[in-house]
Amino acid sequence: MVGVIGEGLMGDSGAPLFGSELSLEDALAAARKRYKWMPLCAVEEWTILDAIVTDEERAKITAAGCQPMFMYAHKVVDDEQRRFEPGHWVRSSIGAALNDSFLFETRNTVYVLLGPGYRKSASIQTIFSLF
């Protein structure tokens, strides 16, 4: 994973996770089987960020069908809708689910997590300061 992703995230890189080890084409095909209509965006060098929230905030987020988590990736590999250029970074909107250990779902996109990554906690302020 490439370096530090924000001042509040310096130091500990987080708990190691493993995304898909399939080829790009096979990973996208597997994602498409599960998500028929959602746009797909494949990324590498990623981190799942668990937002540090109060119990009240967590209840509101959960009631809205989401989880207090975000995804940040240093490298976009392929974005079906061409919103993000290959090689650029991306930070997701709030997540809805992490499925099959490599499909990070938001309300409007499924991020296909390729190769190794990390998971760590961060404040909302730190998450939104990533750019």
State how far the Cα of 57 lies from the Cα of 124, in Å rounded to an integer.
Answer: 11
Q: Is the pTM of this model over 0.75?
A: yes
Angle at 26 between CA 99 and CA 45, to 5 degrees: 60
State how far the Cα of 39 lies from the Cα of 47, in Å rounded to an integer.
Answer: 20
Q: What confidence tens digit (pLDDT) does each residue in 103-112 have?
A: 999 999 999 9
Domain boundaries, the chain: 7-129
Q: What confidence tens digit (pLDDT) does each residue in 25-64 have?
A: 999 999 999 999 999 999 999 999 999 999 999 999 999 9
Average pLDDT value over all residues in the chain: 90
